[in-house]
A = this chain, B = another copy of it.
Amino acid sequence: MNTQPRLTRNQDMVFRVLVDAKTPLSAYTILDQVREFGIRAPLQIYRALDKLQGWGMVHRLESLNAFIACARADCQRHEMVAFAICDKCRHVSEFSDAQVKAHLDNWVGDKEFLANQTAIEIRGTCRACAR
């Protein structure tokens, strides 16, 4: 988890696209939106995403194969983060629960498992879509 320098051109473009979209985007969708600025290949997107993830500015949603900008103004804190993903409108709520983190930490501690990264993704229907 590196410390974050100034963004490069590609990184900045990718990040802006994700910030503007309120919804998760696949790498190829991002690509489509930056083609007009000269980016042509998927790898250019994936490389930028890797860096942005490393800095905690972007999260990968494993169950969607998609990416979303970090919801928190200050992207420095990296506690355990969880997502509630609406399967109807694709809205994503990001939250972090200290108690959930504590319990999982506890479990892996017991097993002497060295946790690196944790994905918690709840799929379902948000309140707005539930009617």
Contact = CB atoms under 8 A, between A and B. Distances in A.
Contact of A117 (B108, B112, B123): B123
Interface residues of A, number: 34
A127 B111 CA distance: 7
Given A100-B100, A100-B104, A104-B82, A123 B115 contact: yes
A124 B114 contact: yes
Contacts of A41: none
A-B residue pairs, 10 tightest by C-beta: A112-B127, A116-B124, A62-B62, A62-B63, A115-B124, A114-B125, A119-B121, A114-B124, A118-B122, A117-B123
Interface of A: 62-63, 65, 82, 84, 86-87, 93, 95, 97, 99-100, 103-104, 107-108, 111-127, 130
